[in-house]
Structure 1
Amino acid sequence: MQITSISTPTSLETVLERIFAIGRITRSDQQVLMSTLLSKEDLNEKELQQINQIFDRIKRGLLKVVD
């Protein structure tokens, strides 16, 4: 299994916006977010807040995870 990494903040922003817009997250999206969080890249406050919102919505069952 290959984990994709986000190379630019714009890419991360695009992924986050799409997840919020459609109300679903793919396993690939989830891997990208985890990889971004675990990378050495600095995330701004807004990005961290959005990522936390996504994982909170997954835990609460408000965001559907699809393959």
Structure 2
Amino acid sequence: MSERVCAPPLAVEAIVERIFETRRITRADQQVFMSALLSKNSLNLSEQQQIDRVFEGLRQGRIRVVD
């Protein structure tokens, strides 16, 4: 049985800032990030830009994926 991460809803911007401060994204970070995004009916421009920022950071190697 898999364990779900239950955390209070966080602003997408706060999650992204934490990811960039640590320069890494854990599986728990990913789950919180996805939960925050999927809990919305639609994403505003700022949220879309934050997602792009994380993907670009991953692509360029500025963010490491860790367990």
Which interval holds the TM-score relative to the shorter structure? 0.5 to 0.7
**Matched-pair identity in %:** 42
- What's the TM-score once normalised by structure 2's chain length? 0.65
Instruction: Mark the runs of 5 or more structure 2 residues left unpaired by the alignment.
Output: none
Residue segments in structure 1 that go unaligned for 5+ positions in a row: none
Q: Which has the larger radius of gyration?
A: 2
1:20-59 matches, within 5 Å, as 20-37=20-37, 39-41=38-40, 42-59=42-59
C-alpha distance in structure 1 between counterparts of 2:39 and 2:15, whole Å: 19
TM-score by length of 1: 0.65
Runs (4 or more) in structure 1 with deviation over 4 Å come to: 3-6
CA RMSD in angstroms, aligned pairs only: 2.3
- Structure that is richer in helix per residue: 1
Q: Tell me how many residue pairs correspond in the alignment.
A: 64
